[in-house]
């Protein structure tokens, strides 16, 4: 799924076709689990960010919001003269984000008590939201369905 998402995003001209690469936040902060299965949301968003970052080849710039404190700490050291300014220069502020990924996972389950057949339909919706205007510049929806029947000894 994350591979498909990555391809979808990189073909979107607003996201990956600009002269100045847009800045994007991808983390699990606004990715909600509304399904009936506990999941590790970070697994999905981390994989997506890492793969997208590799494939984007500079067409997208990824910005962290999880480690703002860490960045601020280093900025303070540079500005207090405790350290020099490094090799990439200093900026007036940290990078502001143009877009942020939001998402939701939901599912529908059906169980046939007589046959033991369990059917699970999962739907994951992602939207890339413009952090200034609120416009949704990209969306993707991914579905998968699984069905299996447990042994009669366990029904």
Partner 1 sequence: MNAKWFPGVVAAVSSALACGCAVTPTAESSSNGNGLEAQSRSPSGHGIATEAQRFASGQPDELRPFFRALYIEGEHNAVLNFDYLGLAALESGQYEISAKAFDAAISRIEAIYANNPSAQKAKSLFAEEKVKDFKGEPYERAMTYFYRGLLYAHSGDYQNARASFLSAESQSMMSESESYQSTFGLMDYLAGWASYCDGDDSAAAELGARAATLQPQIFGVLSDQVNFIGLIDVGTGPVKYGIGQYHEKLAFKASGRTPGVADVHVSSATLSAPTLAADLNFQAMTRGGRPVDAILNGKAEWKSNTEGASTALTAAGYTATLEGAVTNNQNLQSAGEIGMVVGLMGGLFAKAMTPAADMRTWSSLPAAIVLVAGQLPSGTAPAMTFTVAPDGSPASASLAAHAGRCSIAWGEAPSRLESAAAQVATPVLAEGRHEAANAQLRSYLETTFAGGQAASIAEQPGSAVRSEAP
Q: Between 8 and 104, whose beta carbon lies closer to partner 1? A: 104
Q: Between 59 and 111, whose beta carbon lies closer to partner 1? A: 111
Rounded to the nearest 10 degrees, the angle between the axes of helix 2-10 and helix 41-56 is 40
Q: Between 83 and 109, whose beta carbon lies closer to partner 1? A: 109
> Minimum distance from CB of 124 to partner 1 (Å)?
14
> Minimum distance from CB of 153 to partner 1 (Å)?
4
Q: Between 30 and 62, whose beta carbon lies closer to partner 1? A: 30
What does the alpha-carbon distance between residue 68 and residue 93 come to, in Å, rounded to a whole number? 11
> Minimum distance from CB of 146 to partner 1 (Å)?
10
Helix (H, G, I), strand (E, B) or coil at 153: helix
Helix (H, G, I), strand (E, B) or coil at 104: strand
> Minimum distance from CB of 58 to partner 1 (Å)?
34
Helices (H) and strands (E) in the chain, counts: 4, 6
Give the helix/strand (H/E) hosting 129.
strand 117-130
Binding site for partner 1 (CB under 8 A): 32-39, 41, 109, 111, 113-114, 116, 118, 148-155
Strand partners, 130: 99
């Amino acid at each position: 799924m994350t591979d498909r998402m990555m391809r979808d995003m990189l073909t979107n001209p607003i996201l990956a076709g600009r002269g100045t690469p847009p800045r994007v936040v991808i983390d699990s902060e606004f990715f909600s689990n509304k399904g009936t299965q506990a999941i590790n949301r970070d697994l999905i968003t981390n994989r997506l960010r890492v793969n997208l970052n590799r494939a984007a080849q500079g067409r997208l710039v990824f910005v962290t919001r999880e480690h703002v404190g860490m960045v601020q700490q280093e900025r303070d050291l540079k500005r207090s003269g405790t350290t020099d300014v490094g090799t990439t220069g200093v900026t007036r502020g940290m990078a502001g984000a143009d877009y942020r990924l939001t998402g939701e996972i939901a599912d529908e389950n059906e169980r046939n008590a007589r046959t033991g057949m369990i059917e699970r339909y999962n739907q994951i919706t992602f939207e890339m939201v413009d952090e200034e205007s609120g416009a949704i510049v990209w969306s993707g929806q991914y579905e998968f369905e699984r069905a299996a029947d447990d042994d009669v000894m366990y029904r």
